[in-house]
Structure 1
Amino acid sequence: MGNLNRLEPVKAAQKFIDNYFPYCDGALLAGSVVRGEATKTSDLDIVVFDKTYISSYRESVFVYGWPIEVFAHNLNSYRDYFVSDFKRARPSLPRMVSEGIILKDNGGIDSVKSEAKELLSKGPEKWSTEVINTKRYFITDTLDDFVGCNNRAEGIFIANTLAELVSEFVLRTNNKWIGASKWIVRSLREHDTKFAEQFVEAFDIFYRSGAKGKVINLVDEILKPYGGPLFDGFSLGKK
């Protein structure tokens, strides 16, 4: 998908809006190109607002040398996504809107950006003690599988699951947003750079050498302030 002659990101995004969404009420360019984190495979994330749309939709196209992801909303539907992102603690759309460069604004986009920034600063819903204990149990269960596993292939995927559970636990117990894929590490770095380095190092050592010690110690230290591993006495759904 590379193209040495393609337009600069903002110019390409502006031309795209002018030609494909000339009557929209507003548009934003977001994503890695805005954050200065673009790679050769990065696309342009463009959020479009149009009061005439019946519902939200997502669409992918390739124009002006760029893969472009369009996230289209009317002037109300984006709020449903804000609420959904808040509940799952992954603020995909609020983050895009908050960081986005305005490409077009017929009035109101600043207000939407303010809503996004307010939600992001608030952080996700605080976990209850019950939720924390449930998460402790599933981390303990996965850690036990990890410690006892002698099959290299199975161990890799158990470690993947453990990394996701542990990163979620650390972020949510600290009232921070979580992420998926590359956003796991990015979210951890936003929370605590030093811890993120320890986290990556522990799992990297396991993936490279099979040594489990640093991962096990890391998980034990994370669970310790909340009572440590949990198995005996745990109950879920009992009437």
Structure 2
Amino acid sequence: MIHIPIIYEDNHLLVVEKPVNVPVQEDASGDDDLLSILKRDLKIRYDKPGNVYLGLVHRLDRPVGGVMVFAKTSKAASRLSDQIRRNAMEKYYLTIVHGEMEKDRGRLENYLVKDRKKNEVYVVGKSNKYGKEAVLEYEEKEQEAGFSLLEIDLHTGRPHQIRVQLSHHGCPIFGDQKYGQDVNHPGQQIALWSHRLVLTHPTKKEDMTFTSHPPEEYPWSIWPSYTEKK
């Protein structure tokens, strides 16, 4: 049984810490997925008859862990989705990359295309009619042993966006086998973590911040002040 830590819950929101290597929703692997696990948990905890509603409003790649918000009502799902469309929901990530960026902080703007058959994303020119704009801002927090710890402010939620953009700019993420195979090794866990979400509550209209910290494992353990204290 996969344990899913609950960060916050009320009648409209369910905020959890997604475990690494668990798909967000059902996929071809047939492995147990986060959405199904949470629906089963709600059904048991609240003794709900029939199907349980839980709205998926954003996603994380399978190998990525950290904070995620789900909607417990259709009204909440609609309003959270609207925040995402307007870029009003702030999504921050921590990641450890090989090397260092050219500047301590900056903004990356690229155009991305996804090859669905290969499940890979590529950077293309602005003139490519299939390219979708991808924007993020980064800030270098720490540097040691050939690695840099970055905080990412994600402005657009394209598939594999952070991984592809950082690799394209010469700093592949530690453990990323897909976009950093030249410097990473099989079996390494990707060092990308959904660290913080800032959103407006769908009914209370209050600004809320939810935080999750990476595990005390290498390479996160290089900077223990950023990891979860067990």
Q: Please report the TM-score for the alignment, with normalisation by the length of structure 1.
A: 0.27
Structure number with larger C-alpha Rg: 1
Greater fraction helix? 1
Normalising by structure 2, we get a TM-score of 0.28
Judging by fraction of residues, say which structure has more strand. 2
